[in-house]
Structures are given as C-alpha cells and as structure tokens.
Amino acid sequence: MSQRDGFGSGFVIGSIVGGVIGGVLGALLTNRSQPEESVEERFIEPGEQMPFSTEENMEVARHNLEAKIAQLNSAIDDVRQQLETVNSNSSEQD
C-alpha cells in the first residue's frame, strides 16, 4: 500500500514538470533550427515601410513588385478566359 499512497500526486507533479521542461526545450530548439529570414522572405504588413537605404533593398523591393504584378496579370488573364467562356456559352443558348 505504501507504494500507491504517493502515486497520484507524484504523477501529477511529474506531468507538470515534464510539460514545462518539454515546452521550454521545444521553444529553444525551434528557434535554433529556423534559418534567419532574409529580406526577400520577410513579409511586409500593409502600412509598414521597409527601409530602402541600400541599392540591394531597392532591388529586392523592385523584384517583389514585379512578381506581384506578374501574379496579378495571370489572375486577370484567368478571369478574362472564364468570362469569355461564360459569354460564348450564353450567346450559343440564345
């Protein structure tokens, strides 16, 4: 019986201590394993300004802008094709 008397409280304390240690170790290892974010990968929130103090930063911003413009043009082309398909189907039914 003496072995079972402290089992419940020991189990609860062990679970709490293990959870805390595991959480701290997990947070530390996660921070170490993530590579540093480059300027290109950094997400800029709306209204946030990126400091353009060097030509490299300006080039990165220009590249990102060109990529977004290409993405927008692709989306516009997709919508245009869908609308043409819808318009041609509706004219055939009339």
Name the more confident of 88 and 25.
Answer: 25
On whether both 71 and 89 belong to a single domain, the answer is: yes
Name the more confident of 37 and 19.
Answer: 19
Tokens of 89: 């189907």
On whether both 30 and 49 belong to a single domain, the answer is: no
Q: Quickly list H helices, the chain.
A: 2-5, 7-33, 55-93
Give the chain's mean pLDDT. Answer: 78
Q: Residue 68: its pLDDT value, please?
A: 93
The 10s digit of each residue's pLDDT in 33-67 is 656 655 545 566 666 665 556 788 788 888 899 99
CB 50 within 8 A of CB 61: yes
Tally of domains in the chain? 2
> Reduced to 3 states, what is the DSSP secondary structure of residue 68?
helix
Instruction: Say if 5 falls within a structural domain.
Output: yes
On whether both 81 and 57 belong to a single domain, the answer is: yes
For residue 67, what are the domain limits? 44-94
On whether both 51 and 76 belong to a single domain, the answer is: yes
Whether the predicted model's global pTM rises above the 0.75 cut: no
On whether both 60 and 87 belong to a single domain, the answer is: yes
On whether both 20 and 58 belong to a single domain, the answer is: no
- State percent of the chain over pLDDT 70: 68
Instruction: Say if 39 falls within a structural domain.
Output: no
